[in-house]
Amino acid sequence: MASTTSATSTRSADLWADVKPAAARRMLLAAVDAFAAEGYSAATTRDIAERAGMSPAAVYVHYRSKADLLYAISLVGSQSSLDAVTAALEEETDPVQRLRGYVSAFVAWHAHNHTLARVIQYELKALTPEHFDEVDALRRRRAGLLRSELRRGARAGAFQIDDQATTALAILSMGIDVARWYTRSPSPRVLGTRYADLAVRLVGAHG
Amino acid sequence: MASTTSATSTRSADLWADVKPAAARRMLLAAVDAFAAEGYSAATTRDIAERAGMSPAAVYVHYRSKADLLYAISLVGSQSSLDAVTAALEEETDPVQRLRGYVSAFVAWHAHNHTLARVIQYELKALTPEHFDEVDALRRRRAGLLRSELRRGARAGAFQIDDQATTALAILSMGIDVARWYTRSPSPRVLGTRYADLAVRLVGAHG
């Protein structure tokens, strides 16, 4: 079986770098494309093999099933976006700058990885319950980091928030939905900055 | 073929009321459930017939194909959400109240009709190009109404917006993404009001 080690070190553009060997990595990329184009249910192992330029039998060398591919994709992707926001938070101390960092990273990740993000998002229900729980835990940690920021910023008097839960939800939604509509522009970085400006408004701070 | 007339009069809870006869309506509801549960590609006409308590042959009396069912669903749903925001705007004159009305109606619609909204959202790419264009036109009108509100509010000095396009996009995303996470609470009306508060912050107005 291919190894999909924790992507903690994967903050670069290539979030698949930790997937070894290269054939397994090529398979995952092909599976992302196949699931995005045809939907998880409709995509076949044969489609995926073809997109990867391999024989159908080669898929099974690295992954037991289509379900295993979806699981690996969801895990690598969710870990990568969690890493992106964690790294952004580590760079800042001021509550407003931390919020800006989180939102910029979150939005830029979803723009940059929009095809992958769409597959994870739309096919979550196709995961087995155990795999879902594992992927969902990463997503909850990602959301939990934002809620902590809102709490701390409010406690420090930097944010004026009426409803922390709804505000966190709205900020996450703005970012997650980027994957649905994003194609090529503006650049992930520019979009991230614009959404950071909006998040600052939502928390009643002054950026 | 079943008639799926413009749902302009359908502002009530039952947005399928205009679909006649009742058997066609039952079929559409069954198709929404089947597409939501299994995905459009994986759901079969047989599944849909079973969910509707009809024979597979009965489906073809009303709809030529699974594609026709998806088209009818997408059209009725998109028209209904456009009607909901249009009706909300008609009730208000003040820019802030109009924005609140639009956002409340948009969010409440997505909460109330979350299963339907999810099917339309996730399966848009399964529509034929002609059908897509027709459904997309309704969605563009819905987005255009919001952009007009932002423009007018800014011109009237009621809103202080840095970037109208991004602000409109973020407000729409907040609402559309409700369909993804919503299950039962808070009530669509309460959620709509909370998101209206957030939209007022995003446009730099005072609610």
Contact, A124 vs A35, CB < 8 A? no
Q: Which of A118, A163, A166, A200 is the best residue to mutate to test the B interface, defined by the most B CB atoms within 10 Å of its own CB?
A: A166
Nearest chain B CA: its distance from A21 CA (Å): 32
Q: What percent of chain A has pLDDT over 90?
A: 75
ipTM (interface predicted TM): 0.89
Structure token pair of residue B119: 């099917």
Q: How far apart are CA A68 and CA A131, in angstroms?
A: 9
Question: So what's the pLDDT on residue A10?
Answer: 35
Three-class DSSP labels, chain B: CCEECCCCCCCCCCCCCCEECHHHHHHHHHHHHHHHHHCCCCCCHHHHHHHHCCCHHHHHHHCCCHHHHHHHHHHHHHHHHHHHHHHHHHCCCCHHHHHHHHHHHHHHHHHHCHHHHHHHHHHHHHCCHHHHHHHHHHHHHHHHHHHHHHHHHHHCCCCCCCCHHHHHHHHHHHHHCHHHHCCCCCCHHHHHHHHHHHHHHHCCCCC
Give residue A5's pLDDT. 42
Helix (H, G, I), strand (E, B), or coil: what is residue A130? Answer: helix
CA-only gyration radius of chain B, Å: 18
Most confident listed range (A27-36, B122-131, B135-144): B135-144
| pLDDT above 70 (res B1) | no
Cross-chain residue pair B38–A38, CB shorter than 8 Å: no
A164 burial (CB, 10 Å; 0-12 / 13-18 / 19+) is middle
Interchain contact B187–A (C-beta under 8 A): no
Quote the CA–CA distance of A204 and A58 in Å, as a whole number.
54
Range from A182-191, B15-24, B161-170 carrying the lowest mean pLDDT: B15-24
List the structure tokens of A181: 């509509």
Is some CB atom of chain A closer than 8 A to the CB atom of B121? yes
- 8 Å CB contact of A201 and B204: yes
Cα A147 to chain centroid distance, Å, stands at 17
The pLDDT score that the predictor gives to residue B207 is: 58
What pLDDT was estimated at residue A14? Answer: 79
pLDDT given at position B13: 47
CA distance B178 to A125: 17
Contact between residue B202 and residue A198 where contact means Cβ atoms under 8 Å apart: yes
Specify the pLDDT at position B19.
86
Give dist(CA B179, CA B186) in Å, integer.
13
- pLDDT band, residue B114 (cuts 50/70/90): very high
Is the pLDDT reported for residue A189 higher than 60?
yes
Per-residue confidence (pLDDT) for residue B167, from 0 to 100: 98
Confidence grade of residue B10 (pLDDT, cut at 50, 70, 90) = very low
pLDDT > 90: what percent of chain B? 75
Q: Is B202 on the interface with A (CB under 8 A)?
A: yes
Residue A54 contacts B where some CB pair is shorter than 8 Å = no
A21-59 in b/e burial notation, b at 16+ Cβ within 10 A?
eeebbbbbbbbbbbbbebbbbebebebbbebbebeeeeb
Say yes or no to pLDDT of A21 above 90: no
Range with the poorest average pLDDT among A41-45, A70-74, A131-135, B71-75: A41-45
Q: Quick one: pLDDT band at residue A42, thresholds 50, 70, 90?
A: confident
Question: With 50 as the cut, is the pLDDT of residue B9 above it?
Answer: no
- Residue whose pair of structure tokens reads 């999909």 in the numeric block: A4
Bridge partners (DSSP) listed for residue A4 = A19
The number of residues in chain A equals: 207
The predicted-structure confidence for B81-110, as pLDDT tens digits, reads as follows 999 999 999 999 999 999 999 999 999 999
- Of the candidates A180, A181, A197, the beta carbon closest to that of B162 is on A197
CA distance A76 to A2: 12
| pLDDT for res A2 | 52
CA-nearest residue to B203 within chain A is: A201
In tens, the pLDDT along A75-128 reads: 999 999 999 999 999 999 999 999 999 999 999 999 999 999 999 988 888 899
Instruction: Write down all domains in chain B, each with its CATH number in brackets.
Output: 65-202 (1.10.357.10)
B205 band by pLDDT with thresholds 50, 70 and 90: very high
- List chain B residues with CB under 8 Å of A39: 39-42, 126
Instruction: Look at residue B22 in the predicted model and tell me its pLDDT.
Output: 87
* Per-residue model confidence (pLDDT) at position B139: 97
Share of chain B above pLDDT 70, in %: 93
The contacts of residue B125 (CB under 8 Å, 6+ apart) are B132
pLDDT band at A18 (very low <50, low <70, confident <90, very high): confident
CA gyration radius, chain A = 18
Q: Which of B61 and A151 is assigned the larger pLDDT?
A: A151
